Amino acid sequence: MSKHIFLFTMILALAAYQPVLAQETNELNLRLSRDWGYSSGSGKIQGLFTLTASSPENLERVVFYIDDQIIGEATESPFRYQFDTDNYPLGVHTIMATGVTSDGREVISNQYRQEFVTAEVGWQTAAKIALPLLGIVFGIMLLTYLVPALFGRGKRQALAPGTSRNYGVLGGAVCPKCSRPFALHAYGLNLITGKYDRCPYCGKWSMVRHTPIEVLRAAEAAELVNAQGMPAITDTSNEEELRKQLDDSRFRDL
């Protein structure tokens, strides 16, 4: 008899415990995302943010809270609410949501503990990150000019017109100033519209594009023709074809 009483007592205890366990489970998934502003990654935020609630599938209504104050609600999917931290007092706040399902159950979300800060704090933190990056960029641009001088590349190279070049793995380009083909340099600055590089023959910096090898070879032949002072050919010629290829190469991507 005592065994039966013990088992019956345990069943009643488990039955009473199950509802409590269900209430403590966060069935509502709440996500905080930044739309515009500052987020330190360690809990400090400022600006415009969106709360998004999801799960369970039969969710019908969601109420959003900052601390114990209702800030908004959503009655259809996606269950979202946008808020601005500047509309609330500075300091640490608890963000959460509650939902109601189609069968009348109330579900509770996970919580966020966030510190609302001023816009000045966000700008100061962003400046601490951006200024070193800008320094690195300007440093690279400065080295682009200093490296050629330090390694003797600031001098002009003397190369006989028409000499065949080895353009290496980076390829070559035709200088828009002197029309001589040259191998692209590793120290050249890669930009969106091309590569800012220095011609070793005329010594001038200019924006150039990677040029196909057949155009480079044609440019080698053309500089020999120009150096020998040969008369220009008026009809369809190799020189005209070279000029056409050079013009077309300006519009090809690197």
Summarize pLDDT for 124-158 with one digit per residue, the tens: 877 776 777 777 877 776 666 566 555 545 567 78
The DSSP 8-state label assigned to residue 110 in this structure reads -
- Residue 17 confidence class, pLDDT cut points 50, 70, 90: very low
Long-range own/partner contacts, residues 72-78 (CB < 8 A, 24 or more apart): 78/52, 78/54
Q: Give the model's pLDDT for residue 192.
A: 85
Say whether pLDDT at 64 is over 70.
yes
Model confidence over 215-231: pLDDT tens digits? Answer: 999 999 998 888 776 55
C-alpha 111/C-alpha 100 separation (Å) is 17
Q: What is the domain partition of the chain in residue ranges?
A: 24-119, 172-249
Q: Say yes or no to pLDDT of 8 above 50.
A: no
Which CATH superfamily is 24-119 part of? Answer: Immunoglobulins (2.60.40.10)
Is residue 110 within 8 Å of residue 93, measured between CB atoms? no
Please give the pLDDT value at position 66: 98
Kindly report, residue by residue over 77-126, the tens digit of the pLDDT: 999 999 999 999 999 999 999 999 999 999 999 999 999 999 998 778 77
C-alpha torsion sign, points 121, 122, 126, 129: positive
For residue 89, say if its preceding peptide bond is cis, omega within 30 degrees of 0: no
What is the C-alpha radius of gyration for the chain, rounded to an integer number of angstroms? Answer: 35
Among all chains, which residue has been given the structure tokens 């515009």?
A: 36
Distance, CA of 243 to CA of 250 (rounded, Å): 11
Angle between helices 238-249 and 213-228 (to 10 degrees): 130
